[in-house]
Amino acid sequence: MRNVLFIVSGPSGAGKGTLVKALMQGRRDLWLSVSLTTRAPRRGEKHGEAYYFVTKEEFEQRIARGEFLEYNNHFENYYGTLLSDVMRELQTRSVILEIEPMGGFQAAEKIRAMGKYPVVLIMITPPSLHALEERINHRGKESAEQMRERRERVAFELAQADRYDYSVLNDDLDTAIGELRAIIDKEINKE
Ligand code: 5GP
C-alpha cells in the first residue's frame, strides 16, 4: 500500500467532476482536496464542499505566506490547493486533486521533489476531442485558418496528455469510472 498524490485534469466538459465524485463513493482511503477560489459560488455551492470561497485579498495574503502547494489565476480568478491540507492527508491516505493542468504540473513537481510520495497524473478526455481530430483529418470543408486553429488546440491537448501517466476517455460514464478505479487501485497497491 502506498499513499499517492493523484492529479486529475482534463479540458472543460470532460466530466471529471462527475467521475471523481463517483470514484469517491465509500472510499475512506482517498481524500479529495478542497481548493480555495476567489470566484463567486454558483447556485447550490456551499463553502467548504467543492471550494472554500475567499476574497482576492485573503488569497494573495496566503500566496505571500507560501501556503499553496500550487495555485493559478485563470478565468480571471485564483484557484489554489493548500500545502498543509495535502501534506496532512498524505500521511494517512491517498489524495486526489481535481485541478487544471498548469497547477497540476506545479503540484507534481513540488511533491516529486520532496521524494516522499509518488505522484500520478491522470487526464480525462472528452469524446469530443477525438471527434475533433477525426474531423480535422478527414474533412476539408473548413478554411485553412480554421483548420490550423483547431489543429493547434488539439496539438495543445495532446502535448499535455504526453505529460500524463494515464488518460481516461470519458465516453461511457460507467466504463470511465471503472477505468479510473482500476488505475487508482493499481497505483495504491504497488509495492
Ligand atoms: P470551476 O470554476 O468551473 O469550478 O473550475 C475552473 C477550473 O479550475 C477547472 O479546470 C478546475 O479543475 C480548476 N481548479 C479547481 N481547483 C483548482 C486548484 O486548486 N488549482 C488549480 N490550479 N486549478 C483548479
Question: What pLDDT score was predicted for residue 51?
Answer: 96
For residue 68, the model assigns a pLDDT of 98
What's the pLDDT score for residue 142?
Answer: 64
Q: What is the pTM of this model?
A: 0.87
Is any atom of ligand 1 closer than 6 Å to the C-beta of 99? yes
At what angle are helices 127-138 and 144-162 packed, to 10 degrees? Answer: 140
pLDDT at 159: 73
In angstroms, the first-to-last Cα distance of the chain is 7
Question: In this predicted structure, what is the pLDDT of residue 191?
Answer: 80
Segment 59-113, tens digit of pLDDT: 999 999 999 999 999 878 999 999 999 999 999 999 999 998 889 999 999 999 9
User: Contact 119/99 with Cβ under 8 angstroms?
Assistant: no
- For residue 43, give the 3-state DSSP assignment: coil
Which protein residue has the closest C-alpha to ligand 1 atom 19? 80
Q: How far is the CA of 138 from the centre of ligand 1 (A)?
A: 34
- DSSP annotation of 41 reads P
Tell me the percentage of the chain whose pLDDT exceeds 90. 65
Cα–Cα distance for residue pair 191/188, rounded to 1 Å: 8
Give the pLDDT band (50/70/90) at residue 145. Answer: confident
Q: Quick: pLDDT tens for 169-180.
A: 888 889 999 999
The whole-chain average pLDDT of the chain stands at 88
pLDDT at 154 (0 to 100)? 61
Q: Which fold has domain 5-188?
A: Rossmann fold (3.40.50)
Task: Evaluate the CA torsion angle 79, 102, 168, 6 in order and state its sign.
Answer: negative
The predicted model gives 4-18 an average pLDDT of 83
Domain boundaries, the chain: 5-188
Residue 122 one-letter amino acid: I
Task: Taking residues 161-185, report their average pLDDT.
Answer: 92
Pocket test for ligand 1, best of 5, 100, 106, 125 (most atoms within 8 A of CB): 100
State the pLDDT at residue 54. Answer: 98
Mutate to test the pocket of ligand 1, among 79, 98, 160 (most ligand atoms within 8 A of CB): 79
Ligand 1 atom 15: residue of nearest CA: 99
Q: Verify whether ligand 1 is closer than 6 Å to residue 101 (CB atom).
A: no
